[in-house]
Structure 1
């Protein structure tokens, strides 16, 4: 008997799995690379482990020296070994999370915090009825949106092997005979050997088509099956009466949890995205979806072998069977199978019509295509009703109910693809259209770019009411204008083909003015997506124009822009009739952090949300916030559950979308059970945040803002000055950044279709926020998740805001109260604490040595080091404990991981030094080998820290 009987609070099963995987990896390395390489890797590992356990500086220096002595192919082997160990440790940790949840359920039937069960019980204890939850579901919109970003470092090939290893680990938890255990471990060894012999890096940069396929792999492994299970779990919780074994399964829930995607439609700064990529994204999504539907219906046909010789069937079911065209004598008494033959044939015909492909697994009878998902739902409902009426409800629950829910959620489109483009592109396109159309103003040719904001708004509103188009098919426009109009026309065609849910939003990056939004409305009219203002508007007509406020100034004026937008009669009409009374606003975490630093970004986002709630409430419009969160804390990362519950009252209200970016997707969703838990957390947090008694929450929040808001504003101003003083006001800071981090080497890694910078050069302003955060993580500073916070807290304690408590002791007591009682501040500190625990100033100092100019190095790193120490000191003062003292599991995990991340950092530093020296005296063969090793270390460090951008 091998099975580990896990206890929910025991770390031993995880240690056992990690030791097992590490031992197997060592066996593979010794076999494939030889004993000398294995001994080299093992010596480095033992030195790193000894340093982390004993903290003796001599061991750190010895590790550094041994890394520097690596020659030939050894750096690549060392980088791969430590990287793959960290990948394997991640797999083990993810499986252990599932194991702990299961163990907790076996030991204690109490609902886990964050589960759907806990959310429903919590709401019930607060007097929220099931009927109210059902009403909430009818109007709710909870959407994780998958995005592709330039820091997604893992290949799909390796992720596929990861899933197989995870499955094998799960199988080891059940009782096995000695032979079964030996066979399973042999299979595990084979998977680890496959991983070692699989290329970790891509030879070529990802294309948008690659990114589309990568995202679709998560639908096959997780979303298509797990999302219907989440619905089923919630449905059971809402049907509180004990279900009778043969009671009819409940009807599918309203589709409140859906999937979104930016892949194929996000053009902002990515010249590789155009109309063809949007068309491809929609086509490939539909293809994967119909493959799933056909597979499920085929399986149902095998399962529903029910004969009318033994059990009756509804007349409607018999009619459906008779209309199927199936005349096989072998199924003459099996109406469910005959009906499903017809459903399968119609699905195959639908897939052929929409995708142009024959996706059927077998030949089918001639049948008309479904014209809409509702027709498929009706046929499945007929089958389900007959089963329920004739003692077949348990049979329906096996597969049919899940398929019914899937059709409700995924329709014929799978996921809604958002469009996104920068406002300055829209501006240039409109300027050209007005110019080429010969538009006049005061008897002169109109120069749109020269108009002030009021003039632009007036012109655009007038244009929206015009029936005639601006664009002409007889005029050759610039590339920008041609591309933008083609994308919008492709969106219109996609909606007509796959349904209006296929493309619903068009996001305007860098929204700064009201005209930025009106410009997109005019372009939609040009593409035939909306009719001229004043005409009738159908439900879901056109694309919702979504502003993206991403810099600190944009966040501060966002509420005023939305007030002006919602006060336009033509917009109010569209919101009411086409958008079901809701308007979406996107908030950017990455760029606001890069612009103003960690604290100012978070506080500006918080204040912006409160201001938006007031604007929307006053106009009786439902606010849907779209959170542009990333993986790192500097980009809004951290626990989604805690983040949602820490939102100001009224900001969720059943309406929330959030991005799942880059490496976060594979971390959360590569494993079906882990993915199910993260989706459950998202829904549970949305439920609680939306339905918890509003008056009490609002009163508590108002009290926090009145008492602590001035302190937060004071600290935010101080933090922003400190941050911008370093990043934007320090002479030659960009030079330091490009030398002391692997940003240049990251740009050369084939990990995304989008360029790392908007423009060529070394201006911080032109660098994308994602590789900016990625670079600071690689050098172990994690600067975007804490810098400026120490100075802010210290300044408040020493001087205070004008209305602050008079004594330092009183101000400290106030900050401790905020850390204890205010969810917004508590979550902020918790996220920062996790980032600081991952940082390592000693290793960061080694990266600083890559800066050749000593004065610059000492000035910048001296400021960073001082602020790091100050922030640690202030955090400890507020929390009154050591880092992560309240989270021993994470503390233990990081302690173990550092022994494997440290060698990668030391190796990366040495390789970067070699690579940059070689660039001065090129030796193509040597440099290519060194460059490959650098990229391997980037992969490993990202895996070890469990976030990249």
Structure 2
């Protein structure tokens, strides 16, 4: 559910939502009855009604009857029942998304101030604060908003399924037309039922584990499906808000220039940390597929514009600059028009656009030859060498139209294409590369030993490594290593940097984003990457001074890493060699903060607070060294991985740390919830961008400061929360066994939802072995949702004690401090999604029930304590009272999640018993595995959160 804000005008709409959900449920029932028979529908209905009644009133006899209904089903029947609930949840999600879209559309039509996070409301707020048009322009000129798509294994849906769901969304929206007749309505309902039937017949679970190529295409899907439309629409909404609030110039133009502040990034095909399937060749493939995708879109739009801008030179006078541009094109005109040289002779814009389409097709043909494995050279005389030349042609058409009084025409689809090209270039997105620090250290040691530059690199202390690497980077000549004499890992590491160099040439300098180093523990880890880049010709000295085409991003992930941010960053920026190379690359230091691992390591309170403090330290250090800073937030979809509403999350960052630039990962199921539909994508980009605008007011105004009293309190709370979390996770014997046995985390590894392994080491039941994503995924499936809230209650209770003054201070912090409010608001959502009664049933899966009882009792007590303390501090009667729409959505889902969780527990028990009984080394078919994997998908769809 994307909307998370209270609006009293919206609450009556819940009746409409219930009616739409009821319609979807009836149509799904029709499909099941017709295709599967009454027995399946009867079983689904019996479970649905039974668990709805159990939610209203506990009845042991009814619960026992429901469990008998579950355990007596065959695997095949169980699978059909799970699919019914899974598709139902998908339809509920569609109904909610459509309702919020209609609500926003009605607001736009009303002329009233729009929703919180809209450009309209944000600019009105800034205007009321006295921000002038000139100040607004200065603020916007410093913005850079960059979501980064990643392929973390939390998205369980197939692309085919999402396309089917998009069609349901579009048809359902047509039902909302105010003057629709009865006959047309019946036809639309028949169409909806047919689309639901197709959903039923489509396998929503992947048959095979996806390859990285599949994940690349999955990420590109969102551009084709929504973003190519959403990007220009976002700018249109901003322009409309500027006109409404700040007026227009006498010539009809806006009073300010709106820069291109949107950018998109990707890790898919570049993130090789822990994923051996991401090879250098895969990174090349990712860059080329992205370029292919965006060129196809430009060709489509330019071809369309050719049939729109049909102006005759007999009716208007194009500008001299435009005519000069057209004359320059004359050298390729024979190839373009092939014997019809007088084509569009009196229609200059159509002639220009025909030539532009030809040049784009020549560029695309080169990319496609490379994708086919050919060594193709770009025909520079007839193709576009880069996006700058394409943009120059678009702008000369735009300015020419304006010159003969047609600003309104220029501001239409042509401006949309300009906005798209400014955002996407020929690279589409910035592909980041990520690798773990020890891989670089080993490669550098091997290269230095082979080339006789240093035989003892691994034995050097940190100052020694920094001195040696600095000296080598500064050298005018370095001996080239022989790749054939290196081990496979070092050889591949070197090849990655060569690919970066080659792709910068092929797709443009922006095609490769930053090089992210996970597990950065020292400044030398960054210099090692810079040295490897130096060997590949990405950095060094030119005749006009130093150059650096490699932007290196240290990633701080664990609590320990966050505490040592200052040491690493100061050591790095104080190194003259690095400072000189950073200046040559634009003098912007990006620093990435990992939410998932720090939360898994020390709990939500310690993670959130150390991340908050680390941001302030990082910005202070970069300012002291005269360097601009960009923070890169490694957020996931769930609260335990830094998730939550984007607008509020950005506003909750420390004062004066955002500074106009923000970059954050969009992972797993978040991608499909935000970007599957154009309408929702426009909304999500807008609320994120306005969060960035409001959080960046320090660019034009003196920033507010956090109160010392709040900071000191939070510091103590973080310590108390971390201690409570570690008491459970690190110091309670057997807690990891409890996790592995009471959640489906082992079975998640069999679900074909990502190319990356879910564990770092197989058969290792340790906290360090399990990745942060399945850590959160497992706890969510079993309705513990523990990473998002554990330790908050213990910390609040211990800190306030029985002191009313301390309680009053906490309540004031919740009212006045965006960080603290966001933290507790997000925890309320996680607490609402948790269900201790269901979690207790999962605990019964553990082989050691005495251990399970001890662990679960700790969890249950802390859950009750956290609910009580959060409500007390937030001064609420019930969780999520401030967000009733979201609360209603979650309450509506629970009766349907309950049967799924109960079915999953049964399936886990049966599947594990079967596998435990198999002889060593022998594999037999497990009939329970397929329905079990579907149950994971279904619960993920119902909770709208996985990892």
Q: TM-score range by the shorter chain?
A: over 0.9
8 Å CA contact retained: 1:495, 1:503: yes
Return the match for 2:409 from 367, 392, 395. 395
**Counterpart in the other structure of 1:510:** 519
> Deviations along 1:485-523, whole A, 9 cap, x unmatched?
111111110001111100130001011111111111111
Return the match for 1:306 from 307, 311, 333. 311
**Counterpart in the other structure of 2:210:** 206
8 Å CA contact retained: 2:503, 2:512: yes
**Counterpart in the other structure of 1:711:** 713
In structure 1, distance between residues paired with 2:76 and 2:93: 26
Q: Counterpart of 2:537 in 1: which secondary structure?
A: coil
Which structure 1 segments of 5+ residues have no match?
1-5, 360-364, 441-445, 799-806
Return the match for 2:824 from 823, 829, 834. 829
Q: What's the CA shift for 1:461?
A: 1.2
Q: What's the CA shift for 1:792?
A: 0.9
In structure 1, distance between residues paired with 2:453 and 2:873: 62
Which stretch of the first structure deviates more once superposed, 612-621 or 277-286? 612-621
In structure 1, distance between residues paired with 2:131 and 2:34: 62
8 Å CA contact retained: 1:589, 1:636: yes
In structure 2, distance between residues paired with 1:682 and 1:63: 44
> Deviations along 1:814-859, whole A, 9 cap, x unmatched?
1111112111111110000110011000000000000011221111
In structure 2, distance between residues paired with 1:899 and 1:482: 55
**Counterpart in the other structure of 2:929:** 931
Q: Does 2:780 align with 1:777?
A: yes
Return the match for 1:549 from 556, 565, 569. 556
**Counterpart in the other structure of 1:610:** 616
Q: Counterpart of 2:539 in 1: which secondary structure?
A: coil
8 Å CA contact retained: 1:249, 1:388: no
Q: Report the CA distance shift for 1:872/1:271 in structure 2 as closer, same or farther (over 3 A).
A: same
**Counterpart in the other structure of 1:269:** 274
**Counterpart in the other structure of 2:391:** 377
8 Å CA contact retained: 1:246, 1:394: no
Counterparts of 1:97-246 in structure 2, within 5 Å, are: 97-107=100-110, 109-174=112-177, 175-239=179-243, 242=247
Q: Does 2:456 align with 1:447?
A: yes
Q: Does 2:598 align with 1:595?
A: no
**Counterpart in the other structure of 1:477:** 486
Return the match for 2:697 from 677, 691, 707. 691
**Counterpart in the other structure of 2:4:** none
How many residue pairs get matched? 919
Q: What's the CA shift for 1:367?
A: 6.5
**Counterpart in the other structure of 1:804:** none
Q: What's the CA shift for 1:447?
A: 2.4
In structure 1, distance between residues paired with 2:255 and 2:422: 14
Return the match for 2:860 from 865, 872, 886. 865
Q: Report the CA distance shift for 1:633/1:58 in structure 2 as closer, same or farther (over 3 A).
A: farther
Q: Counterpart of 1:420 in 2: which secondary structure?
A: strand
**Counterpart in the other structure of 1:292:** 297
**Counterpart in the other structure of 1:564:** 571
Counterparts of 1:331-370 in structure 2, within 5 Å, are: 331-356=344-369, 368-370=382-384
Q: What's the CA shift for 1:249?
A: 8.2
8 Å CA contact retained: 1:321, 1:340: no
Q: What's the CA shift for 1:120?
A: 1.7
In structure 1, distance between residues paired with 2:317 and 2:711: 68
In structure 2, distance between residues paired with 1:797 and 1:474: 62
Q: What's the CA shift for 1:763?
A: 1.4
Counterparts of 1:855-894 in structure 2, within 5 Å, are: 855-881=850-876, 882-894=878-890
In structure 1, distance between residues paired with 2:699 and 2:633: 23
Q: Report the CA distance shift for 1:534/1:650 in structure 2 as closer, same or farther (over 3 A).
A: farther
Q: Counterpart of 1:531 in 2: which secondary structure?
A: strand
8 Å CA contact retained: 1:426, 1:520: yes
8 Å CA contact retained: 2:504, 2:510: yes
**Counterpart in the other structure of 1:13:** 16
Q: What's the CA shift for 1:247?
A: 4.2
Q: Does 2:833 align with 1:838?
A: yes
Q: Counterpart of 2:307 in 1: which secondary structure?
A: helix
In structure 2, distance between residues paired with 1:565 and 1:619: 11
In structure 2, distance between residues paired with 1:910 and 1:449: 52
Q: Report the CA distance shift for 1:664/1:718 in structure 2 as closer, same or farther (over 3 A).
A: same
User: TM-score under structure 2 normalisation?
Assistant: 0.93
Q: What's the CA shift for 1:755?
A: 0.3
Q: Counterpart of 2:666 in 1: which secondary structure?
A: strand
Return the match for 2:534 from 516, 525, 529. 525
Q: Does 2:428 align with 1:424?
A: no
8 Å CA contact retained: 2:655, 2:704: yes
In structure 1, distance between residues paired with 2:111 and 2:256: 31
Q: What's the CA shift for 1:374?
A: 1.7
Which stretch of the first structure deviates more once superposed, 465-474 or 876-885? 465-474
Which structure 2 segments of 5+ residues have no match?
1-7, 373-378
In structure 1, distance between residues paired with 2:364 and 2:475: 39
In structure 1, distance between residues paired with 2:371 and 2:343: 26
In structure 2, distance between residues paired with 1:737 and 1:103: 47
Q: Report the CA distance shift for 1:620/1:42 in structure 2 as closer, same or farther (over 3 A).
A: same
**Counterpart in the other structure of 1:944:** 942
Q: Counterpart of 2:478 in 1: which secondary structure?
A: coil
User: TM-score under structure 1 normalisation?
Assistant: 0.93
**Counterpart in the other structure of 1:443:** none
